[in-house]
Structure 1
């Protein structure tokens, strides 16, 4: 009987705690789990959640995908990340989470998109300095690159469609293959999260095309399926 009485007291106490916690957040929207992707790579954390219309993401796991660290201040009210101080933070499930737009800003991300139906946040974070250089090309998407860094015409060139990373491209002159010219240590996805390559296209452009008017090979590493690729209009 004593054991049963003790168990009953414990259960009542837990119920009381549950009621207290629930009432403490009256008037606020409850946290919701959500999926957070950076260039299609998922930020793995159960702490990711939505609160009052804003997406909060595990700062440590977000930083880890960039091989960086997010350092919490001693008073636990801010986070130092990639030279920025982020103050819009929430502690959730024992983790320090930060507003995704502040984290994205710290890594110079190009855009942050929210898919309400899928409960998904997508951060497009290409290497710093990448800008759009073409409109949407059917079955490909927009082309982005960093002309100031001398990436063109060889690349890397990034394909983007509806704010999502679609492909990584390089253009190699036919003459380079004939002459045995090396193209070593190309930048590619250095410093940013990279999804898995789903398919690879190597196309010979006999007369070249706008942007590279010599015979060359276009090399596309696609991060989407061919079926998804053909839907790009």
Structure 2
């Protein structure tokens, strides 16, 4: 009898352990950022190897509306139909790559060590122009906006600065450049520091005397680590 009871207890403990492990997998913290802005929701989770994100929280950082079908199976976001909706903790969620595609994001990166997903969402037509430049990162832009910009700095998939290049002669002649493009309609982190550097002889891409104006979203210490 004692052996039977011991066997039942062991089965019970094993079952509890299995449920706990499964629950731990479902509820582990997943950090999600869009251009450095947090998509805050306890519904962000991993299921079957896919990262699902709170649909409403993701739409909120873009200040856009989302419509979820009555059967909770599909949704319309930014004019795109999302067909893989999963209800989790009472919230509709969708795969991060589907959401990124709906806003025309350039990249989605994942850091397994920190359990952090990062969506790089820059204006349409923005492409990578250079490899990593020390203490700056890659340079991305829409060729139609060159040479003034905006130019976006990206390092390891993350947005680190926005840049404008203004000719020295424009300052001398009092030329104005109103309403330059930027991050309108997109999530944007806070500017932490700004560098204004005079390029006496210009450089590749803008070969006349001009000023490079970098507004950084990272600290100077973080900037120095970019190699």
Instruction: Bin the TM-score by the shorter chain.
Output: 0.7 to 0.9
TM superposition shift of 1:169? 0.3
Does residue 66 of structure 1 match 2:62? Answer: yes
In structure 2, C-alpha distance between the alignment counterparts of 1:104 and 1:160, rounded to whole Å: 17
Does residue 210 of structure 1 match 2:204? Answer: yes
In structure 1, C-alpha distance between the alignment counterparts of 2:168 and 2:26, rounded to whole Å: 58
Instruction: Find 1:196's aligned residue among 180, 184, 190.
Output: 190
In structure 1, C-alpha distance between the alignment counterparts of 2:197 and 2:183, rounded to whole Å: 21
Task: Give the TM-score normalised by structure 1.
Answer: 0.85
TM superposition shift of 1:31? 4.2
TM superposition shift of 1:53? 1.8
Does residue 168 of structure 1 match 2:150? Answer: no
2:170 is paired with a residue whose SS is: helix
Asked if the contact 1:31–1:51 (Cα under 8 Å) also holds between the matched residues in 2, the reply is no
1:104 is paired with a residue whose SS is: helix
| 1:70-81 equivalence runs, <5 A | 70-81=66-77
Structure 1: give runs of 5+ residues left out of the alignment: 1-18
Hey, which bits of structure 1, 4+ residues long, moved more than 2 A? Answer: 29-33
TM superposition shift of 1:220? 0.2
Task: Give the TM-score normalised by structure 2.
Answer: 0.87
TM superposition shift of 1:99? 0.6
Asked if the contact 1:32–1:51 (Cα under 8 Å) also holds between the matched residues in 2, the reply is no
Aligned residues: 209
In structure 2, C-alpha distance between the alignment counterparts of 1:70 and 1:45, rounded to whole Å: 16
2:93 is matched with 97
1:158 is matched with 152
Asked if the contact 1:200–1:219 (Cα under 8 Å) also holds between the matched residues in 2, the reply is yes
| 1:111-130 equivalence runs, <5 A | 111-130=107-126
| 1:4-15 equivalence runs, <5 A | none
1:9 is matched with none
- Alpha carbons of structure 1 residues 160 and 222: separation in structure 2 relative to 1, 3 Å: same
In structure 2, C-alpha distance between the alignment counterparts of 1:68 and 1:99, rounded to whole Å: 18
